[in-house]
Amino acid sequence: MSSFDDTLPPGGPMLQRAFEALVETFNQRGIRYAIIGGLATMQHSRVRTTDDIDALLTVTQIAMPGLFEALAERGFAVDLVRNIQEFRDEGMTTIRFGEVIVDLLKPVIPAYAHVLDRAINAEMFGQQVRVSSPEGLIVTKLIAMRPQDESDVRDLLNGYGKSLDLDFIHAELQTFCDENDPRQTKFDNWVQEAMGGPESR
C-alpha cells in the first residue's frame, strides 16, 4: 500500500493545512477523537477524491467554548454560538478552513461510541493521529450507505479480507438495522464476494 502522503487528492495542500491545524488542536487539548470519512478511507484502502474532513469526537460541554475558540485561532471559520449549540443539541456541526469543510460529529448512537473506542494510531500528513480502524470505518459507512460508502465498504473488504473482525461489524449492524434492512443483505453479499465463498461467522 502506498504511503498516505503519496495519495493526496486534488486540493491536497489546503486539505493538509486544515488537517494539521485540526489534529494539532485536538492533540494539544486532549480531545478524544477519530478521523473517519474520506481521509480515513484513503489511509486504509485507496486514493479517492475528497475535499472535506470528518472527525468523530467527544468533548464536555464546559470544554466546547475553549475548543472552538482554539480552532478559530488556528484559522477555522467558527460561529461560536451556532457551532456549540449544534454540536451539543444535534450531535454534528460544520466549520471551514478556506474551502475545506470540516464536519465534527458526536457519538450520539452506541455504534459511533464503539467506533471511537476502537480508533487506532496512524501517521497521516507526517504526524501521529487517531483514525478509525477499518472495522469502525465500515460501520460508519454502513450507517450512511450512500453510493460512495458502498464502494468504500467493498474496497475495505477486498483490501483487508479475513483479517477483519467481522463479528464486531455484525454486532454493530444489529444495533441500527434489523434482518430485513437492505444494508444487512448487501453487506453479507459483499463479504461472501470478498472472502471467495459463503461467509462463516
pLDDT band at 23 (very low <50, low <70, confident <90, very high): very high
What integer is the mean pLDDT of 146-165?
A: 94
Residue 1 pLDDT > 70:
no
Residue type, 33: Y
Vertex 124: Cα angle to 122 and 129 (nearest 5): 50
pLDDT, position 48: 63
Q: Has domain 4-195 been given CATH number 3.30.460.40?
A: yes
For the stretch 180-184, contacts whose Cβ atoms lie closer than 8 Å and that sit 24 or more positions apart, written own/partner, are 183/142, 183/145
Is pTM beyond 0.95? Reply is no
pLDDT, position 2: 40
Question: In 3D, which of 102, 108, 100, 33 has the Cα closest to residue 63?
Answer: 33
Look at the block and give the residue holding cell 461489524: 169
Distance CA 116, CA 55 (A): 10
Residue 190 pLDDT > 70:
yes
pLDDT, position 50: 75
What is the total residue count of the chain? 201
173 CB-near residues (< 8 Å, 6+ apart): 139, 142, 183, 184, 187
pLDDT band at 196 (very low <50, low <70, confident <90, very high): confident
pLDDT, position 174: 94
pLDDT, position 183: 96
